[in-house]
Copies of this chain bind each other. A is one copy, B any other.
């Protein structure tokens, strides 16, 4: 091992070397790097161990709080990394891991990511990003067009118009949602007369100016938890994030929504925004966006669509109708690290009106000056990497038709999986897939019958037993390391008000085959046959 080429001791010469001398290809790190380049899937399969070590044990490897005094050889460090970190990572790209929203990455993303890292541009300002700035604006325009389909003329006017923005890039959907509501709040409470606007005077004076008791944001109970954070951060308060009941398909109940609006009016609370969900995180359902757009119009409030997950459904000619009404949204969140298949850390928020983001515009003396092209004057974040390049690469290399195939595949695979679950005597489909997400639970047909005949009180008891069963099964499946589904809690109409624990499946990895889906159910049946779980199930017969 050519340790001489690595940092051996803390002196200036070796310090310069780590900034100028590449890692030797024949070093441990060079070898790992080459293995990833040559065969990512193989590398992950080989090095990520099949069976989980206990988390407490792993924590033991990361229990030292002192920064090492002396430098370490790169190769020694890489050995540590391989043994203690890589081997204990989660194989997020595995086609049998269908419980989360991280899929496999297209291969070209890896070398392109290296270019991105090597260029190390900072998108806050043109001075440190040059061509990346217009490229990011182009990507935002492309996604804007995918959603809003404005005219050629519209995009010619706005795509590179630095006094306005069609949207903002950010680290993920949470910052995108916060940005959307921040802009909506500042627009509602903009400067007028003596009032200098909420950005300057703050929320208390803004409400006094608007002559109301508070602001509210309305979304269904299936709204993403980031909206609660947004309500908290923005000073609105979580109690004013109104969680509206859903119908049997996890879509917002419009009657209840109108009731809530009436109640708020009575209390002098002004609706800031109505949020429609374009693919709920837990069940993949889509709210009736047209009706929500109508209501937002009536109330004169902002209409935001959280399409962090489902937005890319717009690529599909066959299924884009599922998001009908999204083009009427004032703002839309889309995550690129989900169904655009770019690595972690890329979200976007698009605004129908290029002037909306002006409500959060800000400047400084040394960068993002007035009149500059610096993107940082209309983003919540400051310094940030050029992740837009990877979105640009995906859109260019995979193309609209390629993404369409990926979307169609996922939705159709989810439907087939739903039929498989339906046909299986030991499972119950809980939520029918509308996009590519579904939920189900372990429920042998005999138990299903007992449940159907039980009085409400007994039904609730049985569901509690089943919750314990599902939770135990999900943990065991995860620990076995072969396949993975996640779990959540839902209140499907069929069990009165009972909230139950369910398995959750996300089908976005193109490498997931129908055979793998069958194997997931088989493994779950095996787990269910373990004595302690059988004992739990026996209690249902009680």
A120's contact among B59, B92, B122, B363, by CB below 8 Å, is which? B92
Min CB distance, A97 to chain B, in Å? 9
Judged by a CB distance under 8 angstroms, whether A493 is at the interface is: no
A204 at the interface (CB under 8 A from B): yes
| Residues in chain B near residue A237, CB distance under 8 A | 198-203, 205
B-chain residues with CB within 8 Å of residue A66 when the two chains form the complex = 142, 145
Residue contact A489 to B365, C-beta cutoff 8 Å:
yes
Binds B, one of A248-256, A293-301, A391-399: A391-399
Given A22-B38, A90-B127, A383-B172: A62 in contact with B235 (beta carbons within 8 A): no
**Residue of B whose beta carbon sits closest to that of A389:** B85
CB of A104 closer than 8 Å to a CB of B: yes
Report the bound CA distance from A29 to B37 in whole Å.
Answer: 12
**Least CB distance, A336 to chain B, in whole angstroms:** 11
Asked if A18 and B114 sit within 8 Å, CB to CB, the answer is no
Q: Which residue of the partner chain B has the closest CB to A174?
A: B382
Known: A72-B397, A117-B113. A62 touches B200 (CB 8 A): no
Residues of B within 8 A of A343 (CB): 117, 120, 385
**Top 10 A-B residue pairs of the complex, sorted by shortest distance between their CB atoms:** A202-B237, A235-B235, A366-B488, A203-B235, A88-B131, A65-B155, A10-B401, A62-B138, A174-B382, A33-B111
Asked if A114 and B115 make an inter-chain contact with CB atoms under 8 angstroms apart, the answer reads: no
Q: From A281, which residue of chain B is reached at the shortest CB distance?
A: B366
Each complex incorporates copies of this chain amounting to 2
Chain B residues whose CB sits within 8 angstroms of the CB of A129 once the complex forms: 89-90
Question: A101–B490 Cα gap in the complex (Å)?
Answer: 48
In contact, A111 and B399 (Cβ under 8 angstroms): no
CA distance A282 to B490 in the complex (A): 52
8 CB-based A-B contacts, threshold 8 Å: A33-B115, A92-B120, A100-B127, A102-B122, A102-B128, A229-B360, A335-B383, A366-B504
A 4-37 contacts with B by CB, 8 A: 7, 10-12, 15-16, 18-23, 25, 29-30, 32-33, 36-37
Query: Interface residue tally of chain A, by bracket?
Result: 35 or more
Contact (A402, B61) CB under 8 Å given A23-B108, A43-B118, A175-B381: no
| Contact A398–B33 (Cβ < 8 Å) | no
A105-B58 contact, Cβ under 8 Å, with A396-B68, A405-B12: no
Contacts of A105 in B (CB 8 A): 19, 117-118, 120
Q: Report chain B residues within 8 Å CB of A171.
A: 170-171, 175, 345, 381, 384
The reply on A278 being an interface residue by CB < 8 A is no
Asked if A93 is an interface residue, CB under 8 A from chain B, the answer is yes
Structural contact, A72 and B399, CB atoms closer than 8 A: yes
- Complex partner residue of A111 from B30, B345, B510, CB under 8 angstroms: B30
- In whole angstroms, how far apart are the Cα atoms of A69 and B102 in the complex? 25
B365 contacts A159, C-beta separation under 8 Å = no
A122 near B92 with CB under 8 A, answer yes
Interface residues of A in 62-117 (CB under 8 A from B): 62-74, 77, 80-81, 84-90, 92-93, 99-102, 104-115, 117
Interface code A199-221, partner B: CB below 8 Å = 1, 0 otherwise? 11111110100000110000000
Determine if B71 and A399 form an interchain contact, defined as CB atoms under 8 angstroms apart.
yes
Asked whether any CB of chain B lies closer than 8 Å to the CB of A126, the reply is yes
Q: Which residues of B contact A7 (CB under 8 A)?
A: 397-398, 402
Q: Determine if A536 is an interface residue (Cβ-Cβ < 8 Å).
A: no
Complex contact B32–A115 (CB within 8 A): yes
Residue among B102, B155, B400 making CB contact with A68, cutoff 8 Å? B400
A304 at the interface (CB under 8 A from B): no
- Taking the closest CB of chain B, its distance from the CB of A153, in whole angstroms, is 11
Q: A89-B130, A203-B237 are in contact. List 13 more A-B contacts (CB 8 A).
A: A18-B106, A18-B397, A29-B108, A55-B373, A65-B145, A70-B401, A81-B393, A90-B129, A127-B486, A171-B171, A182-B233, A199-B232, A202-B239
Partner of A132, one of B41, B85, B399: B85
Q: What residue of chain B has the Cβ atom nearest to residue A314's Cβ?
A: B67
- Are A77 and B228 touching (Cβ within 8 A)? no
Given contacts A19-B510, A488-B366, contact A121 B239 (CB under 8 A): no
- Chain B CB count within 10 A is highest, among A16, A105, A118, A393, for A118
Q: Is the CB–CB distance between B134 and A58 below 8 Å?
A: yes
Partner pick for A22 among B40, B101, B213, B478, CB 8 A cutoff:
B40
Q: Do residues A114 and B119 form an inter-chain contact, with CB atoms below 8 A? A: no
Q: Are A381 and B112 in contact (CB under 8 A)?
A: no
Indicate with 1 or 0, residue by residue over A481-523, a CB within 8 angstroms of chain B CB atoms.
Answer: 0001011111000000000000010000011000000000000
User: Is A1 interfacial (CB 8 A cutoff)?
Assistant: no
- Chain B residue contacts of A204, Cβ below 8 A: 203-204, 207, 213-214, 235
